[in-house]
Structure 1
Amino acid sequence: MTTTLATAPEGLTRLRLRQEATRVLLTNWTGNSTVPSHTLYPHQWSWDSAFIAIGLRHLSPRRAQRELETLLGAQWADGRIPHIVFNPAVRPDAYFPGPDFWRSSTSGRAAGAPAWAETSGIVQPPVHALAAALVHESDPETSRRRGFLERLYPRLTAWHDYLLHERDLTGRGLVCVVHPWEPGMDNSPCWDGPLHRIVPAPGSSFSRVDLVHGEQAERPTDLDYGRYVRLAADYRDHGYQDTGTPHPFVVEDPGFNALLIASEHALADIAEALDRDPQQHHERADALTESLLRHLWQPEAGMFLCRDGHTDTVIEERSVTGLLPLIIPSLPSQVAAALQHTARGPHFGLGSTTVLAPSYDLQGTAFDAYRYWRGPAWFNTNWLLERGLRHHGGQTHALRERLLDAAGTSNFAEYVDPRTGQGRGTPHFSWTAAVVLDLLARLQDGEEPR
């Protein structure tokens, strides 16, 4: 099968692409942070802001710093960075589940939720230290003058401490997620098996505001949403405590852990920039990498697979999360080579049957090119793959060009059909614009993006 990328009516030059990406981020800026989308996602999201800061650093390092500072300003005392920080200026019914559902300042008080902000109680992938290191490198002088790394380093260390100490729920040295929204790939088929144990909340107990702004065929089903609500409500009603709470959903996700490893390496770089000892971060990264390889690497699949913490069984579904460990610099060469082979093989078709790597196995029974994380290609995961391929000597020029072209032709879509590049989800999406700016900035300088 030959991939076909839709052609923009006017054909965006690289200069025009940069201008339009800039426009997206400026439009979505709220004064202290950036919303992913003013319609579908009108608050601040955790891993979105990390990717947004990576792009913003090419427009305004000061604003990129502010993006991360605002997010970390809502950090809980136990170290967790919540996956949503709610904007009090946005009406409560603009997004569900909103602040009235999470009730962080009351239900999360024992876990250290701030009294001055309303947030969710779950987390998202830890990309933040990597983003902070890249933001610092874009303007070290301003960063040092403002004490940017000095202020963020203890917060980022506390964030990683929380994940490593409170979320190793299986005792295997890996971080576990307790809700499908935490790995960021909300309705991935990887979660279907573990989710079957969850009795969904009745449909009458919540309102699907997401369907006001998104096509039903592209969003999670009502059944899945009922299960998401049940899990979140139960976690809330147990005070967002990790120890002693019955977690019916416990999954070891390779992408989540790989991003923590990459961010531990970034924390080592930050420590060195502050003239501090980086050794603990290197040691933690190495220990995590060893556990990841021991428990989640599946040689016969040629990739990492998720593991159900309740049944201690491998989840056989192939997802892009299992390719993300390519971003680990110290990954063994034979594992990196196998991941590259899998990415380009029939399950993901990168460079042959797909424009961009899909979020889920092309040959999987649950593959759906339109529905959220069940098949569409996302720009942030493909940016991570491009970075990982480059770390391990892979050819990335074609992938970078397809990333840029797909963003321009899809009007900076939230995600795209992996085979055609046709836009899906909401347009003018912030992290799509951000990764475009990051790639363009390095190409313009004649450098390989790092």
Structure 2
Amino acid sequence: MTETNQRDAQLIEDAKATLVKNDLGGYTVPTHGLYPFQWNWDSAIVALGWLPFDEPRAWEEATSLLSAQWKSGMVPHVVFHQHSDTYFPGPDIWGVKNIPDSTSITQPPVLATVIKSLFEECKDRALAEAQINTIVPQLIDSHLWWYKQRDPENTGLVVSYHPWESGMDNSPAWDAALEAVPCVDWEYTRRDTSHIDASERPHKKEYDRFLYLVDFFRKMNFDDTLIYQDCPYRVNDVSIISILHRGTKDLLEVCEKIGVSNEQTAYLEKRLSLTEEAIQKLWCAETNLFHSFDTRSNSLCKARTSAGLLPFFAGLVGEHQTQPLISELDKWLEHSEYAISSTHPEDPNYEPQRYWRGPIWLHINWMIALGLQDYGFAHQAQRITHGSRACIYTSGFNESFHAETGARSGGADFSWTAAMALYWLLPNTSEKD
């Protein structure tokens, strides 16, 4: 066995141990202390990590998340399965009276894409077929909720009500939109900065506005119609739109394979066409990138972030946008052997180690690389894959990575990074080089 293979074999075992360590019995926490509950898109990504070595546990991760689905179809962004005092804000602040307790917002719906992978790649076909028949109706309800409640005017572009819904909490893309949100008028004690240095976390001015929005949702009694009308933060998030679009296509493929065809699937097909037309609103010829759109100020969120590359993942990049976008990506990749920073290194808001203002996130890289492969850009996909592998070789399974050095950023022993190592970066390494 070569030295590289020995290293990879050890990392695979370490990644498995990370998932086992973070397993709380049916769901996997992102990491202990900092994130002690079940997070929506974390859990979806983590299911891919369980798949290579524990197929029943991969399905259980998904069904555990879906057990908290609201009657409306929404799948919440955090599920509070059990008490913990190491995280703020907890269920007492959110004020949701569900079983299990949850937050009142959601996260990017990557679960449908993950379920397609589980269904196609699972070796236990009896298990896969038993699970898929229960999960598909729940996924359909989730995607119908997105289109009907988050785009009631049928624009083709769903909206987000909170930066936490994007999963990219303090991305510079949200700076201007957040300025329109008042600050919360009560005192609170953050818990994140007791686990991670404040230089790697959002600023207090951002948290003040995050919490105002949490209060607002509760005061609106979580009514989708009232929130859509009055929420001070309402953004067409290009990352959510892209992940939802890809997820809907993947969901419909699964539906076709298992023989599900009805009014709901026909509606989802129509929504795909609507988004394919509407996505042009998010393209900016000045930056050669897709951007989110602040529907309150009617302006693009001009920060250059990796979210602007996710239309590749969705299959939403048009012929006239492909080459300019690839040229921009090539310049982006020149800045570091590690890839790809969450904010463009030439953007004035770039900070290489502060949460979503610069650090590298491997699950985003996986989606971008997958999209690039779909478009035939194997070289760029390989470059991102190599840069991602370099991160875990340099500093292990961290929440994210310093954009220039590959050093740890955020929490350690992180589940979705271990999952990406197991599912994407380490198996069959020689075939990927």
Say whether the fold is shared (TM-score over 0.5): yes
Instruction: Give 1:222-233 correspondences, 5 Å limit.
Output: 222-233=204-215
Selected match of 2:248 from 264, 280, 286: 264
- Identity level (%): 30
> Alignment partner of 1:13: what SS?
helix
Q: Supply the distance in 1 between the matched residues of 2:46 and 2:249 (Cα, whole angstroms).
A: 20
> Alignment partner of 2:165: what SS?
coil
Selected match of 1:42 from 22, 28, 36: 36
Q: Supply the distance in 1 between the matched residues of 2:296 and 2:152 (Cα, whole angstroms).
A: 10
Equivalent AA in structure 1 for residue 70 of structure 2:
W
Q: Supply the distance in 2 between the matched residues of 1:168 and 1:199 (Cα, whole angstroms).
A: 24
Maintained 8 Å contact 1:198/1:248? yes
Equivalent AA in structure 2 for residue 376 of structure 1:
P
Selected match of 1:82 from 76, 86, 91: 76
Instruction: Give 1:228-377 correspondences, 5 Å limit.
Output: 228-245=210-227, 246-277=230-261, 280-293=267-280, 295-329=281-315, 331-345=317-331, 349-377=332-360
> Alignment partner of 1:177: what SS?
coil
Q: Supply the distance in 1 between the matched residues of 2:432 and 2:386 (Cα, whole angstroms).
A: 15
Maintained 8 Å contact 2:338/2:390? no
Selected match of 2:187 from 205, 215, 223: 205
Larger fraction in helix = 2
Give the deviation of 1:69 after TM superposition: 0.2
Give the deviation of 1:43 after TM superposition: 0.3
Give the deviation of 1:420 after TM superposition: 1.6
Q: Supply the distance in 1 between the matched residues of 2:291 and 2:139 (Cα, whole angstroms).
A: 27
Give the deviation of 1:284 after TM superposition: 2.6
Give the deviation of 1:314 after TM superposition: 1.4
Higher alpha-carbon deviation: 134-143 or 359-368: 134-143
Q: Supply the distance in 2 between the matched residues of 1:360 and 1:130 (Cα, whole angstroms).
A: 25
Give the deviation of 1:411 after TM superposition: 2.0
> Alignment partner of 1:199: what SS?
coil
Q: Supply the distance in 1 between the matched residues of 2:315 and 2:236 (Cα, whole angstroms).
A: 21
Equivalent AA in structure 1 for residue 388 of structure 2:
L
Equivalent AA in structure 2 for residue 208 of structure 1:
R
Q: Supply the distance in 2 between the matched residues of 1:11 and 1:54 (Cα, whole angstroms).
A: 22
Give the deviation of 1:147 after TM superposition: 1.6
Selected match of 1:435 from 396, 420, 423: 420
Maintained 8 Å contact 1:264/1:281? yes
Maintained 8 Å contact 1:189/1:317? yes
Give the deviation of 1:335 after TM superposition: 2.4
Maintained 8 Å contact 2:303/2:349? no
Q: Supply the distance in 1 between the matched residues of 2:182 and 2:13 (Cα, whole angstroms).
A: 47
> Alignment partner of 1:104: what SS?
coil
Give the deviation of 1:144 after TM superposition: 4.9
Q: Supply the distance in 2 between the matched residues of 1:270 and 1:58 (Cα, whole angstroms).
A: 20
User: What corresponds to 2:58 in structure 1?
Assistant: 64
Q: Supply the distance in 1 between the matched residues of 2:91 and 2:319 (Cα, whole angstroms).
A: 46
2:21 aligned with 1:27:
yes
Q: Supply the distance in 1 between the matched residues of 2:411 and 2:6 (Cα, whole angstroms).
A: 20
> Alignment partner of 1:190: what SS?
helix
Give the deviation of 1:21 after TM superposition: 1.1
Higher alpha-carbon deviation: 153-162 or 135-144: 135-144
Q: Supply the distance in 2 between the matched residues of 1:280 and 1:443 (Cα, whole angstroms).
A: 39
Equivalent AA in structure 2 for residue 197 of structure 1:
A
Equivalent AA in structure 2 for residue 94 of structure 1:
T
Q: Supply the distance in 1 between the matched residues of 2:325 and 2:421 (Cα, whole angstroms).
A: 24
Post-superposition Cα deviations, 1:409-448, rounded to whole Å, max 9, x if no partner, equal 2121111111221111111111111111112465359479
User: What corresponds to 1:102 in structure 2?
Assistant: 94
User: What corresponds to 1:417 in structure 2?
Assistant: 402
> Alignment partner of 2:368: what SS?
helix
Number of residue pairs matched by the alignment: 424
Maintained 8 Å contact 2:173/2:301? yes
> Alignment partner of 1:243: what SS?
helix
TM-score (norm 1): 0.89
> Alignment partner of 2:166: what SS?
coil
Give the deviation of 1:124 after TM superposition: 0.4
Maintained 8 Å contact 1:379/1:403? yes
Selected match of 1:219 from 182, 192, 201: 201
> Alignment partner of 2:163: what SS?
coil
Equivalent AA in structure 2 for residue 251 of structure 1:
V
> Alignment partner of 2:373: what SS?
helix
Maintained 8 Å contact 1:296/1:307? yes
User: What corresponds to 1:163 in structure 2?
Assistant: 146
Q: Supply the distance in 2 between the matched residues of 1:445 and 1:353 (Cα, whole angstroms).
A: 23
Higher alpha-carbon deviation: 313-322 or 175-184: 313-322
Q: Supply the distance in 2 between the matched residues of 1:419 and 1:64 (Cα, whole angstroms).
A: 33
Q: Supply the distance in 2 between the matched residues of 1:179 and 1:72 (Cα, whole angstroms).
A: 21
Judged with a 3 Å threshold, the aligned counterparts in structure 2 of structure 1 residues 144 and 411 are, in CA distance, closer, same or farther, namely closer
Maintained 8 Å contact 2:122/2:128? no
Judged with a 3 Å threshold, the aligned counterparts in structure 2 of structure 1 residues 355 and 444 are, in CA distance, closer, same or farther, namely closer
Q: Supply the distance in 2 between the matched residues of 1:121 and 1:213 (Cα, whole angstroms).
A: 25
Q: Supply the distance in 2 between the matched residues of 1:410 and 1:170 (Cα, whole angstroms).
A: 46
Maintained 8 Å contact 1:24/1:428? yes
Give the deviation of 1:298 after TM superposition: 1.6
Q: Supply the distance in 2 between the matched residues of 1:419 and 1:28 (Cα, whole angstroms).
A: 28
Maintained 8 Å contact 1:267/1:281? no
Gaps of 5+ in 1: 1-9, 106-114
